[in-house]
Amino acid sequence: MTSIDLRSDTVTRPTAAMWEAMRRAELGDDVLGDEPTVSALESKVAALLGHEAALFTPSGTMANQLAIRCVCEAGDEIIAHRESHIIHYETAAPAALSGCAIAGLDGPGGLFDPEEMRRALRGRDIHSPRSRMVVAENTHNRGGGTIWPLEQLQELSRAARSAELHFHVDGARLANASVAGGYAMRDVGTLTDSISICFSKGLGCPVGSALAGSHDLITRARRFRKMFGGGMRQSGLLAAAAIWALDHHVDRLAHDHANARRFARGLVGTPGVELELAPDAIPTNMVFLRVAPALGAASHLAARLADRGVRLIPMGPQRLRAVTHLDVDAHAIDEAIAAIRSVLDEAMRPSGTIRR
């Protein structure tokens, strides 16, 4: 049977060449401070993102939360889009680990402008939380895989600086933004006080993320990483995969972006689902679909599709997400389209209402 997993770009398996790079990696003990491959990755990431230093972390969540823990005090407030990953998918860690509140902003596709940020700033009196950090997510996941235009990030960075806020970018999919947006990752990095990046998403690694920032910030983050249980030993195994990915899997993201549009084009006009964006407007590797209420919940349709070997992920009561990645080629995309059309065709027939 067909088996096409479009739930996320995290589902990829290492390629043969990546396995080989992992097998050959020189290993040490990173907690004891002598892991040559991890050190090599951290230097590479620092340079790539235009920062003094970087830290390898087990997850993107940890990278974001380390930035927050390093910068904020209990009682501080973080400013971020209300659809951001740090609000929806990090188990309220800003509150749990750092004692912080988050002020959620509106804005199209997960983006917002400096004016929105300024409106969320608190006055400096004893009643108010202290505004301390602003976070931009690039690409923006729930917003649709949206790319921040570089000029908009420049403006936000300037506004953050003049408001004395720390500017953090959640760059879990920064490489996608860079390839599709036509700017270098370092062009974004140099605008920030800290930035995270994931190797486990479109870059195709099994595990791993990084946080980049100043020497001081990263020294502090190293201590909190240990506190959070993220000190790793022969993690050069994983760092080798990340180095391989940075050298070989960045430019190819353009294929994933093309495949996302191909997928969307194949579903145009299919009764039962509606594309949130026209195929040519899809910015990166994500396609969001609205599921007709007549078909029941998005999770129900997802289960039906999974029975036919195509996996999408519900991102709301009537919302499904498909994400393209290294392990799906154009042929697999066409198979997925055919399977989805056939399921919807059955489901939308008057007698074919989906039954539980």
Q: Which residues in this chain contact ligand PLP in the complex, by CB under 6 A?
A: 59-61, 64, 85, 137, 141, 170, 172, 198, 200-201, 209
Q: From residue 128, how far is each of 70, 98, 114, 132 by CA, in Å?
A: 21, 17, 21, 12
**Which residues are CB-contacts of 352 (< 8 A; sequence separation ≥ 6)?**
346
Residue 168, classed as helix, strand or coil, is strand
Q: Across-strand partners of 170?
A: 137, 196
- For residue 1, the minimal CB distance to ligand PLP (Å) is 28
Secondary structure element (H or E) that encloses residue 96, with its range:
helix 93-98
Q: Across-strand partners of 212?
A: 54, 195
Pick between residue 211 and residue 305 the one whose CB is nearest to ligand PLP. Answer: 211
- For residue 172, the minimal CB distance to ligand PLP (Å) is 3
Pick between residue 60 and residue 283 the one whose CB is nearest to ligand PLP. Answer: 60
Pick between residue 202 and residue 272 the one whose CB is nearest to ligand PLP. Answer: 202
Pick between residue 11 and residue 40 the one whose CB is nearest to ligand PLP. Answer: 11
**Which residues are CB-contacts of 197 (< 8 A; sequence separation ≥ 6)?**
45, 49, 60, 63, 171, 172, 174, 175, 185, 209, 210, 212
Which DSSP state fits 109?
G
- For residue 156, the minimal CB distance to ligand PLP (Å) is 17
Peptide bond between residue 139 and the one before it cis (omega within 30 degrees of 0): yes
Residue 146, classed as helix, strand or coil, is strand
Residue 310, classed as helix, strand or coil, is strand
Contact between 212 and 194 under an 8 Å Cβ cutoff? The reply is: yes
Pick between residue 98 and residue 343 the one whose CB is nearest to ligand PLP. Answer: 98
- For residue 65, the minimal CB distance to ligand PLP (Å) is 9
- For residue 252, the minimal CB distance to ligand PLP (Å) is 19
Pick between residue 81 and residue 304 the one whose CB is nearest to ligand PLP. Answer: 81
- For residue 170, the minimal CB distance to ligand PLP (Å) is 5
- For residue 56, the minimal CB distance to ligand PLP (Å) is 13
294, burial (CB in 10 Å: exposed 0-12, middle 13-18, buried 19+): exposed
Rounded to 10°, the helix 174-181/253-267 angle is 80
Q: Across-strand partners of 28?
A: none
Pick between residue 77 and residue 83 the one whose CB is nearest to ligand PLP. Answer: 83
Pick between residue 38 and residue 172 the one whose CB is nearest to ligand PLP. Answer: 172
Pick between residue 38 and residue 347 the one whose CB is nearest to ligand PLP. Answer: 38
- Taking the C-alpha atoms of residue 274 and residue 198, their distance in angstroms, rounded to an integer, is 30
- For residue 138, the minimal CB distance to ligand PLP (Å) is 8
- For residue 270, the minimal CB distance to ligand PLP (Å) is 27
235, burial (CB in 10 Å: exposed 0-12, middle 13-18, buried 19+): buried
Tell me the residue nearest to ligand PLP as measured from the CB: 60
